[in-house]
Structure 1
Amino acid sequence: MPLSVEEGAERYLRHVALELGLSANSRSAYRRDLVAYGAWLAERGVPDLTRVTPETLSEYVADLASPHGTPDGEIRPPLAAASITRRLSTVRGMHRFLFEEGLLDAHAGSGVRTPKRAQRLPKALPLADIEALLQAVGGDDPVGLRDRALLELLYASGARVSEVTALDVDDLLAAPGTADAVEDPDTALGSGGFVQVTGKGSKQRIVPYGSYAGRALAAYLVRARPAMAARGAGTPALFVGPRGARLSRQSAWLVIKAAAERAELSQEVSPHTLRHSFATHLLAGGADVRTVQELLGHASVTTTQIYTQVTADTLREHYLLAHPRAK
């Protein structure tokens, strides 16, 4: 029995509204996707949804991913992979629902694959920009000492900003053979140490940091944090605000943004920029991918290997500049 796109779409939209509880904005987006899909079927002479096959949907995806002319003579660029994925998800959802309701004999979208999204490489800062960023924070006042320690630890550890703001003082561990980091931070942290980070899924990992971060942490813990924490309710948080409460993730982001502006960096800098820079600089310096995986807290080495593409570009650039027969 024939089933028009309009009728199938209305049934599906009622389903997502009543049974799935989608918002009005989501339902509007679904409707736009289905109207565009219906128009595409009409252009290809497909009269109703019972005539749609997996090949039809594969052709639909290919058409969305290809530039083509419009009736007014312009060239429509291909849709981005994310947009194609969203449209196909809506269309497949409708076909699946209508099949499960017994209104279609087959689910045409069951074997149609979504296009792979383009992999975006992380944007790491050059070492000179990192230096400028870190030099842009600091000072002898409590907030300046805290901000310098915060940025030094973010870059030294590669930890996520949420992981660093969640640290307690007791999460700082002294390097072997030194004094206790909490009891005597000025002595213990100066040459570097370790920090116990709690990542995604409450998984803990131990990450080292060097002397630059160690000295900044020691200065903050000795000369700034005691007075700042005394204004609050005795939080164990490592990084605190002027009123003694744990520093928020949003406040840490503002510290980084302000430092980037003072350093006059051309590239946009986010908390994740320091994490990307940490990983890229380690690999460029010869660190093993699996070591970097452990330091970042990635569950799979595949996630970490995206950084090897960045360093490969650097290697190629150096090769082209240095090898006598490279060009």
Structure 2
Amino acid sequence: MDWPSAIKGFKVYMKLERSLSANSVEAYSRDIEKLFQFAQTGEVTLKPEQITLTDLRRFIGFINELGVLPSSQARILSGVKAFYKYLLTEDLIVSDPSELLESPKIQRKLPDTLSYSDINKLIAAIDLSKPEGPRNKAIMEVLYGCGLRVSELTELKLSNLYLDIEFVKVTGKGSKERLVPIGGEAIKALKIWIDNVRVHIPIKKSEEDFVFLNRRGARLSRVYIFMMIKDLALTTGLQKTISPHTFRHSFATHLVEGGADLRAVQEMLGHESITTTEIYTHLDREYLKSTIIQHHPRN
């Protein structure tokens, strides 16, 4: 079995059997390409079925020496484990060398968040006199108001907006759909964009159902959203490094700080595991700690 054929089959498996998005499939295949590169570092190129647990441990050392962060190492090893599970499922190997492989311990980093005041400043900095102004305001309101991933935002469709009952249907990781509540400010901004501006844009064929379009009538790219937010941060003089994901973190943090049930936040974010959502309880504890220190009479 050669590496190119194995990787090609793995990509098909991840797409059809695991129903992963194109971005996830590409990320996994790039991780296996790294293992392929490692397999070529010896005198003889090891085939996928010749890789042992010892080889995989050496591979961890290999990517560590390259300066790959522990969080990225863990993701790469997740891809390696999925690859060997695929080979085992297809009877291309008789045993899984990654079964006893341990991932590097990752120190969970608390995500950066914005204050409500910061978010208001960023939204207020949008120039509504420009053609893209109403659209950009709607983007910011939806990012913060619904806690969407940037890919979920760019893929948002008109047919999945249920603004009369204050919900939007979102397609998340693994093509899983979920209903997310949407608040009044986001609904207002969306309606202004859709009813007053978007209707005047000549839309490209097959792009008619996407909510957010550029001036040429095509859906917006993720890169555009990143750049737009960076520009707003510069305009307002915000000293934090922010991205679209910062608004998702802020959405979750503000809900938890306000007393929202963790399971409800998990549903809204589309987290498969409650453990992923629990990181926001750490942020909440810090908030409570600072509040107690500041306001308690014995402090």
**TM-score, length-normalised on structure 1?**
0.63
Contact map agreement 1:169 1:236 (CA 8 A) in 2: yes
Q: Offset of 1:249 from its aligned partner?
A: 1.2
**Do residues 13 (structure 1) and 42 (structure 2) align?**
yes
Q: Secondary structure at the match of 2:107?
A: coil
Q: Offset of 1:213 from its aligned partner?
A: 0.8
Give the Cα–Cα distance (whole angstroms) in 1 for the partners of residues 291 and 186 of structure 2.
30
Unaligned runs of 5+ in 2: 1-37, 49-57, 78-97
Contact map agreement 2:39 2:47 (CA 8 A) in 1: no
Describe how 1:245-256 pairs up with structure 2 within 5 A: 245-256=218-229
Q: Offset of 1:12 from its aligned partner?
A: 7.3
Contact map agreement 2:138 2:189 (CA 8 A) in 1: yes
- Pair 1:243–1:319, CA change in 2 (3 A): same
- Pair 1:171–1:320, CA change in 2 (3 A): same
The residue type equivalent to 2:133 in the other structure is: G
The residue type equivalent to 1:127 in the other structure is: Y
- Deviation track 1:219-268 (CA, whole Å, cap 9, x = no partner) reads 1011111122x253352110000100111111121111111111211101
Give the Cα–Cα distance (whole angstroms) in 2 for the partners of residues 284 and 296 of structure 1.
16
Residue of structure 2 in register with 1:205 after alignment: 178
- Deviation track 1:285-305 (CA, whole Å, cap 9, x = no partner) reads 111100100000001111100
Give the Cα–Cα distance (whole angstroms) in 2 for the partners of residues 313 and 147 of structure 1.
32
Unaligned runs of 5+ in 1: 1-8, 21-29, 38-78, 90-108, 177-192
Contact map agreement 1:161 1:252 (CA 8 A) in 2: yes
- Pair 1:133–1:245, CA change in 2 (3 A): same
**Do residues 117 (structure 1) and 90 (structure 2) align?**
no
- Pair 1:160–1:319, CA change in 2 (3 A): same
Q: Offset of 1:201 from its aligned partner?
A: 1.1
Give the Cα–Cα distance (whole angstroms) in 1 for the partners of residues 245 and 292 of structure 2.
29
The residue type equivalent to 1:173 in the other structure is: Y
Contact map agreement 2:156 2:211 (CA 8 A) in 1: yes
Please give the root-mean-square deviation of Cα atoms over the aligned residues, in Å: 3.3
Describe how 1:306-317 pairs up with structure 2 within 5 A: 306-317=279-290
Describe how 1:57-76 pairs up with structure 2 within 5 A: none
Describe how 1:292-311 pairs up with structure 2 within 5 A: 292-311=265-284
Q: Secondary structure at the match of 1:303?
A: helix
Residue of structure 1 in register with 2:51 after alignment: none
Give the Cα–Cα distance (whole angstroms) in 2 for the partners of residues 168 and 148 of structure 1.
17
Q: Secondary structure at the match of 1:287?
A: coil
- Structure with more relative contact order (C-alpha pairs < 8 Å, separation 6 or more): 2
Q: 1:232 aligns with which of 199, 204, 208?
A: 204
Q: Offset of 1:142 from its aligned partner?
A: 2.7
Residue of structure 1 in register with 2:32 after alignment: none
**Do residues 82 (structure 1) and 70 (structure 2) align?**
yes
Contact map agreement 2:265 2:277 (CA 8 A) in 1: yes
Describe how 1:279-294 pairs up with structure 2 within 5 A: 279-294=252-267
Residue of structure 1 in register with 2:28 after alignment: none
Give the Cα–Cα distance (whole angstroms) in 2 for the partners of residues 239 and 227 of structure 1.
13
Q: 1:167 aligns with which of 156, 163, 185?
A: 156
Contact map agreement 1:142 1:220 (CA 8 A) in 2: no
Contact map agreement 1:13 1:31 (CA 8 A) in 2: no
Residue of structure 2 in register with 1:146 after alignment: 135
Contact map agreement 2:39 2:46 (CA 8 A) in 1: no
Residue of structure 1 in register with 2:192 after alignment: 219
- Pair 1:316–1:13, CA change in 2 (3 A): same
Give the Cα–Cα distance (whole angstroms) in 1 for the partners of residues 287 and 68 of structure 2.
28
Give the Cα–Cα distance (whole angstroms) in 1 for the partners of residues 40 and 204 of structure 2.
56
Contact map agreement 1:142 1:223 (CA 8 A) in 2: no
The residue type equivalent to 1:139 in the other structure is: L
- Pair 1:201–1:81, CA change in 2 (3 A): closer
Tell me the number of residue pairs that the alignment of Structure 1 and Structure 2 aligns. 229
Kindly report structure 1 stretches of 4+ aligned residues shifted beyond 4 Å: 9-12, 30-34, 109-115
Give the Cα–Cα distance (whole angstroms) in 2 for the partners of residues 216 and 110 of structure 1.
50
Q: Offset of 1:126 from its aligned partner?
A: 1.1
